[in-house]
Amino acid sequence: MTNTSERWSRWPHWHLVCGAVLLAAALPQPAAATDQRPISIPENARHKDYGLGWECKRGFESRGTTCVPMNVPKNAYLATSGTQWKCDRGFRRRSDACVFVTIPANAYADESTVSGWRCDRGFRENDESCAAIQVPDNAYLSELSYGAGWECARGYRQEGQYCIVVRVPENGYLARTGNDWQCQRGYIRNAGECVAVAIPPNAYLNASGTSWACERGFREEPSGCSRVEMPANAHIGYSGHEWSCDPGYRKEATLCVAQASRRLP
């Protein structure tokens, strides 16, 4: 039977081979070849600030692999971005040109609109002109761009093309909106009037001011507030409208029954 020393003698340089393999694995491997060729940038272009590639300079636009001058028409200027143009004030874009805007009476130039103009305050657009807004009595010009163009003054409400005075009944007051009224606390609105809230005995006006709640020790019934009837060894509960048994007693139906004493072991 071959012993261990005989097996090792068959490969006298085995340890050298293993060492060479391990050393080769530990050495850094050469990096894969990469394409280091410079990017070809056309005339009137520059490297992008972020990422790879190129982009045209201000006032030029990309066309294939070249940058050609932008065609900025008459009465226009190069936008801040440098990649588009806008018409001068008083002109509006139509296809690839800027045409003069004819501003009607009582209007001013506004390039943000399709027409290129906007009506003055107190006027509204009507076809190609600005018509005066007819403000009725007890009204004022509105700041809104829609609607009638006017709003009723506080204390008046709109009915058609007029402003009608708001009639505030007794025990009422003008609402915050200014075009309606509300009842004072303790009163409710009913058919154009403010009617007092009917509070039954043993009740009080609740937080809303438009209804009532029963006092402590009473519960609400259809007819009003009835007293909470308690059995012996009971007290008014947390809500104030029902009863609970005293400590040492438990509730059984309508009675408070003494709990059995706990015996010590």
Residue 255: inside a domain, yes or no? yes
pTM above 0.85, yes or no: no
Residue 50: inside a domain, yes or no? no
In whole angstroms, what is the distance from residue 265 CA to residue 260 CA?
Answer: 15
Residue 249: inside a domain, yes or no? yes
The DSSP symbol for 53 reads: S
Residue 247: inside a domain, yes or no? yes
Q: What is residue 32's predicted lDDT score, i.e. its pLDDT?
A: 47
Residue 117: inside a domain, yes or no? no
Which tokens sit at 257?
């029954």
Q: What is the pLDDT along the chain (265 residues), one digit of tens a residue?
A: 445 444 444 544 545 544 554 555 555 555 444 455 566 889 999 888 888 888 888 889 888 889 999 889 999 998 877 778 888 888 888 888 998 889 999 999 887 888 888 999 999 998 889 999 999 999 999 987 778 899 999 999 999 999 999 999 999 999 999 999 999 999 999 999 999 999 999 999 999 999 999 999 999 998 899 999 999 999 999 999 999 999 999 999 999 999 886 555 5
Please state whether 97 falls in left (phi above 0), alpha (psi between -120 and 50) or beta. Answer: beta
Residue 261: inside a domain, yes or no? yes
How many domains does one find in the chain?
Answer: 1
Question: Tell me, what amino acid is at 259?
Answer: Q
Residue 167: inside a domain, yes or no? no
Structural domain that includes position 247:
228-265
Which tokens sit at 40?
């070809």
In whole angstroms, what is the distance from residue 1 CA to residue 232 CA?
Answer: 107
Residue 235: inside a domain, yes or no? yes
Pick from 64, 56, 63: which is nearest to 82 by CA? 56
